Structure 1
Amino acid sequence: MLCTKLAFSTAYHPKTDGLAEKTIQTMEEILRRFCAYGMEYKDHEAYTNDWVTLQPEVQLVYNTTQHSTTGKTPSLVKKGWNPLFPLDHLKKNLLTIHPTAKDFHDMWNKPFDTAKKCIAEAKEYNKQKWDKTHMAPDFKEGTKF
């Protein structure tokens, strides 16, 4: 009825569909770079750079980052809107920012900024890998196939 296909996959050799495989590959690359930078994130217990703890935040940043393929964010494509962060509301209503609030804002945004940087690096790395092995066909008028 919905024309969906259930595809099972293994952990180390995923064979589902290209989009899911590419998303997983990109998320792995982002988390790998994020942990390599030695970023520490404060969860409810203590500071950590454990990728399992960081995954939800990195996923949120990934889903709110514009992708070169669609020109839109995954949240906008899937849901039709982008989520707003609490600081987005504060920025609209404040005329001046107290220095302590600025420090808090910078501390709060540091993981997001690092994740965005990691996403950009992962995109560039994956693009270079793709470009090495895939050449655009050179078709000329009159070429027979």
Structure 2
Amino acid sequence: MDFIRKIGHNEIEEITTPVKSRLCGDFRALNNYTKSDRYTIPRIPHALEKLEKVEYITKMDFKKDFCQNGAKPTSMKLLSIICHMDIYEYTRIPFGIKHSPAHF
């Protein structure tokens, strides 16, 4: 699955590397300009309340959760990062974007 591609130039966000050593962009400036989502993620107690009446429960283990949904081509330039090697843009919704969990 290709979730990041090399572009060579663009408006740029610096990357940060958490202790766990994974690549992530610092999208705080972008998040400040992002409108808040009208539909929030359900709270755990509310979700558990709905589970009381279910007949089947499934366990799923998602790998690379935040890189599952594709980004719109018009949004990709906003998802650019720069590192010592070159400049890249995410082609999928990365971790760190304000509404990433809601998209997943």
TM-score past 0.5 threshold: no
Could you say which structure has the higher strand fraction?
A: 2
TM-score class, shorter: under 0.3
Could you say which structure has the higher helix fraction?
A: 1
